[in-house]
Chains A and B, each alone.
Chain A
Amino acid sequence: MDVTLPEETLLEMYWIMLLSRRLDERAWALHRQGKIAFHISAIGHEAAQVGAAYAIRRGYDWIAPYYRDLTLMLALGYTPREFMLSLMGKKGDPSSGGRQMPSHWSLKRANVISHSAPVATQTSHAAGIGLAIKLRGEDKVVITTVGEGSTSQGEWYEGVNWAAVHQLPVVFIIVNNLYAISVRQEQQMAVRNAADKALGLGLPGVSADGMDFLAMYQVMKEAVERARSGGGPTIVEAKVYRITPHSSDDDDRSYRPREEVEQFKQRDPLSLARQRLEKEGLLSAQKVAELEQRAKEVVEDAVRFGESAPYPDPEEAAYPVYAEEVRHA
């Protein structure tokens, strides 16, 4: 293995990917059972996210995420119980107290800023955080994520341009899963790799195999170290595939062939990670079965916790409009 990480770290990364997958699958099931209103999936994106998370100093560095970042959030300490509160719109959801749709993250204790649904708006926030870090002379790093479709937005260009001009400690991750809902990359951009856009903005741009958690970790590690040491921002493109439809309200059969989906499933990031760790002798069939059992229990506990949690009081919708009205920040 060309990446030197302790065994327990590699197993932890695998565990987070597995947990994310099982939670995600359970969310789809809850939706089909009519128990939740909406889910937007991270299935197929797990390796890219866990690779990115382990390349930063978690709890120290800052994160401006997008909605498909469940695995990244779990790696940052977001709990399955908290995810269920958010999915079900229950009281105590740390992202928004039930105000936002599920998967619109915020977790102050982990330096994860709140984001919205209009895409790429968090890109300039990441640049602004990077600017503040630089103004204060600190050595923190910001990572921010978007899908490849979001790189069509002026929002994205303006944020990246700022960071390039001011050499800010930001890593701009583009998670390229080939589709912005139904629109394929070819209709979205004329460049072959989304990372090629870096050329026009004056910063390094690197593409990584986002289905391989260690390949992603490797590329991210380098970009994060460059940012931390004053070398400026980097664009990192994670080439992945969205194995599920865009969201629980989408049906992808109208716009992409089943054969293509099946073909990418052959490179399912979770299976690839398992094979790799088995080859290294870190995982066995028995160990995988144990982890699966543990994931099942954790997911069950989270669902029970979410289902028994109360809804917010209707009156909670009245605040906090202004900072003066914050009651339980």
Chain B
Amino acid sequence: MPEMTLIEAIRQAMDEELARDERVFIVGEDVGKRGGVFRATQGLYEKYGPKRVIDSPLAELSIVGVGIGAALYGMRPICEIQFADFIHPAFNQIVNEAAKMCYRSNGEWTVPMVIRAPYGGGIGGGLYHSQSVESFFTHVPGLKVVIPSNPEDAKGLLKAAVRDPNPVLYFEPKKGYRLIKGEVPEGEYTIPLGKAKVSRPGQDLTLITYGMTHYYALKAAEMVAAEGIETEVIDLRTLLPIDKETILQSVKKTAKALIVHEDTLTGGYGAEIAAILAEHAFMDLDAPIKRLAGPDVPAVPFSHPMQDWFMPNAQKIAAAIRELAAF
């Protein structure tokens, strides 16, 4: 199997879907000749031309709104929001339009569309190039929310998202674009949305996470393994709909749960997982559910010492694992 970076896997997924289905097209800021500010669409404009890879005006709500209109007409748009931080102008289109279209028309109209956006900090991006925005959208029935953590999943999940008949938000851990490498199966494959994965088996506690923090979680699990703590790591992959079964099965086995995400703590996605565990696995727990998340400040600061203070990392996760294991 060839090894590639996360962003190469994402690009390959789009390339294959553009080749497979002529209804698929890409639209966003700088996605054409520039190939995207992160180069996610590099080479696709040259290969598929200006009708399949379309540079939009600098206006996010209409990237999504135009995508919705095209999807209603039978196309399969892949909308790129340049940074997740800039998705907020499109909130109305995503939440009031895309998410509600199927329900409000009693199924007459559906919106098969993917919205891709790089998310997360640790890249010196300051308040407005570092945000994690997933929990705004995991609250919205009608949307699907996907966050991959590695190249193999990134490719298979994105191809599944393009083929899904619903609006799918696909958030990409931008710090991992070139940092995270992995083997990607040759040939055609998709990974079904809504299925979590046990990425490391263990007996002592369950660590539930997704995206960039999954990368750190595996490193942390490796660190504490040397100390004799066996961590079971779950990569959620899809946040909405959530795979309750995989989480519950693991926590019922290990009896301890640590939830890790980079997004801020209060009202973050971990709160929902904690609630699921409290409702359905309370009697199986040997310790209080623990959350490690971004601190409750408005966003990630620019200056490195302050950015590092904000960001979860392998050391912080390892410390949380030790604390929970010792309970």
| A155 contact set on B, CB distance < 8 A | 61-62, 65, 92
Tally of chain B residues near chain A (CB < 8 A): 43
Residues 94-124 of A at the B interface (beta carbon under 8 Å): 94-97, 99-100, 104, 106, 108, 113-114, 116, 118, 121, 123-124
Contact A128 B101 (CB under 8 A): no
Of B71-79, B120-128, B248-256, B291-299, the stretch lying at the interface with chain A is: B71-79
A57 to B214, CA, bound (A): 54
Which interface residue of B57, B65, B101 has the most chain A CB atoms within 10 A?
B65
Tally of chain A residues near chain B (CB < 8 A): 46
- Whether A274 sits at the interface, judged by CB under 8 Å, is no
A319 to B51, CA, bound (A): 36
Contact A125 B72 (CB under 8 A): yes
A127 to B71, CA, bound (A): 12
A174 to B45, CA, bound (A): 36
Per-residue CB contact flags for chain B residues 135-162 toward chain A (1 = under 8 Å, else 0) read: 0000001101000000000000000000
A124 to B89, CA, bound (A): 13
Contact B72 A321 (CB under 8 A): no
Contact B73 A129 (CB under 8 A): yes
Residue on B nearest A99 in the bound complex, by CB: B104
Residue on A nearest B108 in the bound complex, by CB: A108
| B307 contact set on A, CB distance < 8 A | none
Contact B109 A124 (CB under 8 A): no
Contact A116 B100 (CB under 8 A): yes
| B89 contact set on A, CB distance < 8 A | 154
Contact A323 B102 (CB under 8 A): yes
| A131 contact set on B, CB distance < 8 A | 54, 66, 69-70
A106 to B108, CA, bound (A): 8
Contact B57 A106 (CB under 8 A): no
A329 to B77, CA, bound (A): 22
Given contacts A124-B61, A131-B66, contact A320 B166 (CB under 8 A): no
- Whether A193 sits at the interface, judged by CB under 8 Å, is no
A130 to B73, CA, bound (A): 9
Contact B70 A128 (CB under 8 A): yes
- Whether B268 sits at the interface, judged by CB under 8 Å, is no
Choose among A113, A123, A321 the residue that contacts B142 (Cβ–Cβ < 8 A). A321
Shortest CB-to-CB span from B208 to chain A, Å, is 24
Of A11-19, A45-53, A158-166, the stretch lying at the interface with chain B is: A158-166
Contact A326 B68 (CB under 8 A): no
Given contacts A321-B102, A323-B107, contact A127 B92 (CB under 8 A): no
| B71 contact set on A, CB distance < 8 A | 128
Contact B166 A322 (CB under 8 A): yes
- Whether A132 sits at the interface, judged by CB under 8 Å, is yes
A3 to B75, CA, bound (A): 38
A126 to B96, CA, bound (A): 16
Residues 35-52 of A at the B interface (beta carbon under 8 Å): none
Shortest CB-to-CB span from B95 to chain A, Å, is 10
- Whether A327 sits at the interface, judged by CB under 8 Å, is yes
Residues 22-79 of B at the A interface (beta carbon under 8 Å): 25, 51, 54, 56-57, 59, 61-62, 64-75, 77
Show 8 A/B contacts (Cβ-Cβ < 8 Å), sorted by A: A113-B69, A116-B100, A125-B97, A127-B65, A128-B68, A319-B103, A328-B106, A329-B107
Q: A128-B65, A129-B69 are in contact. List 14 more A-B contacts (CB 8 A).
A: A99-B106, A113-B69, A114-B109, A116-B96, A116-B104, A121-B92, A124-B68, A125-B68, A135-B75, A159-B62, A162-B62, A322-B165, A326-B110, A327-B107
Give me the interface of B with A, judged by CB distance under 8 Å: 25, 51, 54, 56-57, 59, 61-62, 64-75, 77, 89, 92-93, 96-97, 100-110, 112, 141-142, 144, 165-166
